[in-house]
Amino acid sequence: MGNPRIWGEMKRRGHFLKGFSGRVPYSLLSWVTLAVILFLWYLVTDRGWVSSFVLPSPASLWSEFQVLLTKGYAGKSFTEHILASLFRTFTGLGLGILLGVPLGLLMGSSRVANAVLGPIFSFLRPIPPIAFIPLMILYFGIGEFSKVALIFLAALYYVVLNSSAGVRTVPQDLIRAGLNMGLGRGKLFAKVVFWAALPHIMTGIKTATAISWAIVVAAELIAAQAGLGFMVMDATTFFRVPDVYIGIFVIGLIGVILEAITLAVDRKLLHWMGR
């Protein structure tokens, strides 16, 4: 049974930690961490410990950000650059989801389809999407289609593989229960298999969303004239360091927003999880 005094002490400490975590919200720790990072950033740039060429000060970045908002970059407004990147991302991601989910469900439910398509996706999955940039230019030129196609390809991998894995992990007890209730093959798939596989599908969609937004920077290397990736690369070429940092920060901020949106959709669709 163990020493009662030790168990009592562990229980007492457990209650203390539980009470402490209840009094201090974890979100507060995140804000404190962010405040500490900003303070250290201000300190090292204000004291001149780091060259402004390497790390601009927060004040200089804020000043340059206001210039971007009013005058834009490379003849286009800052909003146009953001919208261009979002358009390419959501177009490629949307096509990847529309094709990837049905294809993944087919591969998961059909051994023939999995035998035919599985090796193809297994071969393509380890290849970084940016490795296909030369082929995209060769086959589709330097227009918008090649950029969207690159993002589509990146999103398709994750959606297909997670969707097919979701179907294969559906408990057989659920399928037997559906059959015992008289459900036909179509209704069984729509009412049982799909919803049981939905957590895996949503995992694939969340991963594909993050990857698609990251790939947009590489996609905009293909002769783009607008977009956050274009802005970062162009500013790097001309040593406009503040614009590089601003572009990176905005890319990161939008990435956090997209993650929050996908998590909210995930909670809405999978509200029954854990019950």
Question: For 157-173, how does the pLDDT look when each residue is reduced to its tens digit (9 = 90+)?
Answer: 899 999 999 988 888 88
Residues 38 and 152 in one domain: no
Residues 110 and 36 in one domain: no
Sign of CA dihedral 42, 48, 51, 52: positive
Residue that wins the pLDDT comparison between 131 and 271: 131
| pLDDT band per the 50, 70, 90 thresholds, residue 275 | low
Task: Say which amino acid occupies 85.
Answer: S
Report how many domains make up the chain.
2
What is the rounded average pLDDT of the residues 69-94? Answer: 93
How many whole angstroms separate alpha carbon 209 and alpha carbon 226?
21
User: Model confidence over 34-47: pLDDT tens digits?
Assistant: 889 889 988 888 88
Q: Are 262 and 80 in contact (CB under 8 A)?
A: no
Q: What does DSSP assign to residue 190?
A: I
- Is 127 contained in some domain? yes
- Is 97 contained in some domain? yes
Q: Does the model's pTM come out above 0.85?
A: no
Side-chain-side CA neighbours of 232 within 13 Å: the count stands at 19
Residues 154 and 25 in one domain: no
How many whole angstroms separate alpha carbon 124 and alpha carbon 135?
14
pLDDT number for residue 24: 57
Residues 72 and 126 in one domain: yes
Residues 147 and 37 in one domain: no
Phi, psi (5° rounding) for residue 201? -60, -45
What is the rounded average pLDDT of the residues 112-133? Answer: 88
Residues 8 and 134 in one domain: no
- Is 275 contained in some domain? no
- Is 263 contained in some domain? yes
Residues 105 and 76 in one domain: yes
Name the percent of the chain in helix, strand, coil, to the closest 5: 80, 0, 20
Side-chain-side CA neighbours of 229 within 13 Å: the count stands at 20
Q: Are 227 and 220 in contact (CB under 8 A)?
A: yes
- Is 71 contained in some domain? yes
pLDDT number for residue 187: 79
Structural domain containing residue 40: 4-50
